[in-house]
């Protein structure tokens, strides 16, 4: 079986390429599930029920998030009411929302999706390793097929999480840096790993934002608005092939699919 993970969706260009490309990828690759990080889908910062709805309608089964979780106040509706939406699991207790979900999909697949946020150069949260150690067993009691979105700044912390979870989950795929890495591999225990899936949106940019205001920010050290860029829109991510019975990965390949020129 196969699943697609889509890296950070940035603004309306990112949502558009997801809408245009995901149905074709589902058919071409025989995908059984699609998971996407949507934390930048609303104007390039945060997520709302409206942008989440558009992503789900494009063929995405579960949406993950990260450190921009709270950038849009409407997110509270998703956290309280949307079972297909997950936030980092290592928020302090009593926060709204969930750090993992298990979805029964129409193809008889039961998929667990977990979201965890790293701590190095990131807003301080609870220990991500302890949080995952305590939660993975709960998900494995329901299904061996588990995808983890590890949202973090440093390669070392994300690789450490992948190694820590090797043999316990199907795949650990990183998000947050918006730069797709070339280190896809399957660890000895059968867990697929990619340090960062990259971002889905306008690549003629600086991490999805217009180039000139960011250059001016670095030059002048003055505040600037960073609008979402528009050109060279690409869906970035990875396809993981796995054994439904054991949950072990058998293959992983990076994805880089441009928006069709006719759209």
Q: Where are the domains of the chain?
A: 2-200+235-256
Q: Which residues contact 63 (CB under 8 A, 6 or more apart)?
A: 35, 36, 37, 38, 47, 52, 55, 56, 84, 85, 86
To the query of whether residue 68 is one of the catalytic residues in this protein, the response is yes
- Tokens coding 250: 């058998």
What pLDDT score was predicted for residue 261?
Answer: 84
Average of per-residue pLDDT across 239-247 = 97
pLDDT grade for 177, boundaries at 50, 70 and 90: very high
Mean of pLDDT over the chain? 96
| Predicted pLDDT at 73 | 96
Share of the chain above pLDDT 70, in %: 100
pTM, two decimals, is 0.96
Supply the pLDDT for residue 179: 98
CA dist list (Å): 113 to 35, 95, 103, 170, 255: 8, 19, 8, 10, 20
Tracing tokens 């069709």 back to the chain, one arrives at 260
User: How much is the pLDDT for 192?
Assistant: 98
For residue 117, give both structure tokens: 């946020």
The one catalytic residue in 29, 68, 151, 178 is 68
State residue 263's pLDDT score. 52
Mean pLDDT of 91-113: 94
Residue 70: how many other CB atoms lie within 10 Å? 14
Q: Is the pLDDT of residue 140 over 80?
A: yes
Pairwise CA distance, residues 220 & 19, whole Å:
38
CATH topology of domain 2-200+235-256: Purple Acid Phosphatase; chain A, domain 2 (3.60.21)
Is the pLDDT at 107 greater than 80? The verdict is: no
Check if the beta carbon of residue 27 is closer than 8 Å to that of residue 59: no
Average pLDDT over residues 68-87: 97
């Amino acid at each position: 079986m196969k699943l697609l993970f889509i890296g950070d969706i940035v603004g309306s260009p990112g949502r558009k390429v997801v809408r245009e490309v995901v149905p074709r990828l589902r058919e071409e690759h025989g995908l059984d599930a699609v998971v996407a990080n949507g934390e930048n889908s609303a104007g390039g910062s945060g997520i709302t029920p409206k942008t989440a709805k558009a992503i789900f309608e494009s063929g995405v089964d579960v949406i993950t998030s990260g450190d921009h979780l709270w950038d849009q106040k409407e997110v509270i509706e998703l956290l309280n009411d949307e079972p297909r939406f997950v936030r980092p699991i290592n928020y302090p207790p009593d926060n709204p929302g969930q750090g993992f979900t298990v979805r029964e999909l129409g193809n008889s697949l039961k998929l667990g999706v977990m979201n965890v946020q790293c701590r190095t150069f990131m807003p301080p949260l609870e220990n991500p390793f302890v949080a995952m150690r305590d939660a993975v067993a709960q998900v494995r009691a329901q299904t061996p097929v588990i995808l983890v979105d590890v949202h973090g700044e440093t390669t070392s912390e994300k690789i450490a999480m992948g190694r820590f979870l090797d043999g316990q989950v199907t795949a650990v795929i990183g998000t947050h840096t918006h730069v797709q890495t070339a280190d896809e591999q399957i660890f000895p225990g059968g867990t697929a790993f990619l340090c960062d899936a990259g971002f889905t949106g306008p690549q003629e940019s600086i991490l999805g934002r217009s180039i000139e205001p960011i250059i001016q920010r670095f030059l002048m050290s003055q505040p600037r608005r960073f609008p979402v860029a528009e050109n060279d829109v690409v869906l970035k991510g990875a396809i993981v092939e796995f054994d439904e019975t054991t949950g072990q990965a058998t293959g992983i390949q990076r994805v880089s699919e441009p928006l069709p020129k006719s759209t």
